[in-house]
């Protein structure tokens, strides 16, 4: 008790010293972007609420699409429209290419920022990016793994067909998640660790969920460092426990792969883990550390499964609310594919309306409400405002997708808006950047987009979807690293294809 009293006294004296120095020392007057009134110590943290993306959108209506906030001790700018996103992510991409280094979850769970998503901009990140672009997410490897995606997508269809009886609703949420996780697991490990209800599969699912949750939590210590050591929310303890559990699983899987005899030539038939373990044996790269390999694998297991599943579930939910969208999509599938064969990835270029549904889903329901935070490496002026060095950048893609100055009838689900539009998802059209843009754009975009298109295509070709009688569809969301539905989707599936196609 006495120790606690001394701690409070020391904290008070430290705060008093900081306050006095800020008053006594001369400071250059900066022309910062508009900002709400801040509170002592916590700054604008009290304005976040339970859904920061929505809170910041409301604040942007009052203070403008570029705001300056002080989240605890962290200076932050929030961008809420496409034109400003272009300035930060294209014009000044080189200044905002790095990541903050005070994220406890990335430090503990991702092996001290040894993954690629949270890695600091520099030589290490450039090497990891090159490996992803030239070895992992290549066209050749996508083609080599096509059978995996097809098998798992139609495995989902068969499972739904086996359980959809009469007016009984299908647990669509679980079916979609199992499909996306199975695809990633087989591509990464050449084994499906989610294929059964075994103890091993349930444990693997549980730890992946825990990692995703912890990477998306709001940890006070990240923003008010002086209380970080107290771990008042218990997150640090949970993160260490999660890393220990994941470590034991990853080390066992890696040992199994190391027992294989790897060729010195990286071949497209190898799974992702084989490729990462073989890096350095061909002379083009230095051998990766075990922490680097684990970090990249965790990126794939988290982002590669969650974002695709969230998007497919939101798309099908919007389709249930807008039955004419389902009708038009199925008419297109009948015209391009027919009902005597299964839809394939090669059909996607001709399925323009299906692509429009996916774009409209990313617009209204981005898998992540914010892009992963950026940080400025030097002071810069953007649109006349001073942005100090070490300022965090939050791009509110949820707000950008609902900006009424960009989108007509912005809150309506209207895939038709994209049929006569050249806007794509590749990061060059800043009105729609769910995968980011510039140097830190997502290298897994081809796989993520293909998985979403395939999952939605097989669901719409194989079944007519409807809601149980008198059931109202809950469209509320849960804020976190991703933005899933608060209430998992259950719907009635009526088979459309000949039985032999299931």
Query: What sections of 380-444 are H helices per DSSP?
Result: 397-401
Distance CA 68, CA 75 (A): 7
pLDDT at 282: 61
Cα–Cα distances (Å) from 271 to 208, 268, 275, 289, 314, in that order, read 20, 8, 6, 18, 30
For the chain, helix (H) and strand (E) counts, in that order, are 17, 9
pLDDT digits (tens, 9 = 90+) for 451-471: 999 999 999 999 999 999 878
Q: Is the sign of the CA dihedral 61, 65, 68, 69 positive or negative?
A: positive
Number of CB atoms found within 10 A of residue 118's CB? 23
pLDDT-derived band of residue 187, with 50, 70 and 90 as boundaries? very high
Element spanning 491, H or E: strand 490-495
Distance CA 496, CA 339 (A): 8
**Percent of the chain residues topping a pLDDT of 90:** 83
More confident site: 140 or 282: 140
Number of CB atoms found within 10 A of residue 16's CB? 10
pLDDT average, residue stretch 287-299: 93
Q: Count CA within 13 A, CB hemisphere, residue 398.
A: 24
Domain coordinates of the chain in residue numbers? 30-501
Distance CA 95, CA 382 (A): 11
Number of CB atoms found within 10 A of residue 43's CB? 21
pLDDT-derived band of residue 365, with 50, 70 and 90 as boundaries? very high
pTM for this entry? 0.92
What is the C-alpha radius of gyration for the chain, rounded to an integer number of angstroms? 24
Distance CA 216, CA 128 (A): 23
Number of CB atoms found within 10 A of residue 168's CB? 11
pLDDT at 490: 96
pLDDT at 198: 74
CATH number of 30-501: 1.10.630.10
CA dihedral defined by 303, 412, 437, 284, rounded to 10 degrees?
A: 40
pLDDT-derived band of residue 14, with 50, 70 and 90 as boundaries? very low
């Amino acid at each position: 008790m006495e120790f606690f009293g001394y701690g409070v006294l020391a904290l008070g004296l430290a705060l008093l010293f900081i306050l006095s120095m800020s008053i006594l020392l001369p400071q250059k007057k900066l022309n910062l972007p508009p900002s709400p009134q801040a509170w002592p110590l916590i700054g604008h943290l009290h304005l976040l609420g339970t859904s920061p993306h929505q809170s910041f959108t409301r604040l942007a209506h009052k203070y403008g699409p570029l705001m300056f906030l002080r989240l605890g001790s962290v200076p932050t700018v929030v961008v809420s429209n496409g034109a400003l996103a272009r300035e930060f992510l294209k014009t000044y991409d080189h200044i905002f290419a790095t990541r903050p280094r005070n994220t406890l979850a990335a430090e503990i769970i991702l092996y001290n920022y040894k993954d690629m998503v949270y890695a600091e901009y520099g030589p290490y990140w450039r090497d990891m990016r090159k490996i992803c672009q030239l070895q992992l997410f290549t066209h050749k490897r996508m083609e080599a793994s096509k059978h995996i995606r097809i098998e798992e997508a139609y495995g989902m269809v068969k499972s739904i067909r086996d359980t959809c009886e009469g007016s009984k609703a299908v647990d669509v949420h679980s079916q979609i998640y199992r499909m996306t996780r199975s695809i990633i697991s087989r591509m990464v490990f050449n084994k499906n660790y989610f294929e059964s209800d075994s103890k091993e599969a349930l444990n693997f699912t549980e730890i992946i969920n825990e990692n995703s949750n912890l990477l998306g939590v709001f940890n006070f210590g990240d923003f008010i460092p002086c209380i970080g050591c107290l771990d008042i929310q218990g997150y640090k303890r949970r993160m260490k426990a999660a890393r220990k559990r994941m470590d034991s699983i990853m080390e066992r899987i890696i040992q199994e792969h190391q027992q294989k005899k790897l060729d010195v030539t990286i071949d497209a038939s190898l799974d992702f883990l084989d490729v990462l373990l073989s890096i350095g044996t061909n002379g083009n790269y230095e051998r990766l550390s075990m922490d680097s390999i684990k970090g990249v694998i965790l990126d794939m297991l988290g982002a590669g499964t969650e974002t695709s599943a969230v998007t497919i579930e939101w798309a099908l939910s919007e389709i249930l609310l807008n039955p004419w969208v389902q009708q038009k999509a199925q008419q297109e599938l009948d015209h391009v594919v027919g009902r005597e064969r299964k839809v394939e990835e090669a059909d996607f270029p001709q399925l323009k309306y299906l692509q429009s549904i996916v774009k409209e889903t990313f617009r209204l329901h981005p898998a992540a409400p914010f892009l992963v935070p950026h940080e400025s490496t030097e002071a810069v002026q953007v649109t006349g405002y001073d942005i100090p060095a070490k300022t965090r950048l939050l791009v509110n893609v949820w707000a950008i997708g609902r900006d009424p100055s960009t989108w007509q009838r912005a809150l309506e689900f209207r895939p038709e808006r994209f049929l006569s539009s050249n806007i794509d998802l590749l990061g060059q059209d800043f009105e729609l950047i769910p995968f980011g843009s510039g140097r830190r754009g997502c290298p897994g975009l081809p796989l993520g987009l293909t998985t979403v298109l395939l999952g939605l295509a097989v669901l719409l070709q194989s079944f007519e979807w409807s809601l149980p009688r008198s059931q109202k569809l809950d469209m509320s969301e849960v804020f976190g690293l991703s933005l899933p539905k608060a209430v998992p989707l259950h719907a009635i599936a009526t088979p459309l294809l000949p039985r032999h196609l299931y």
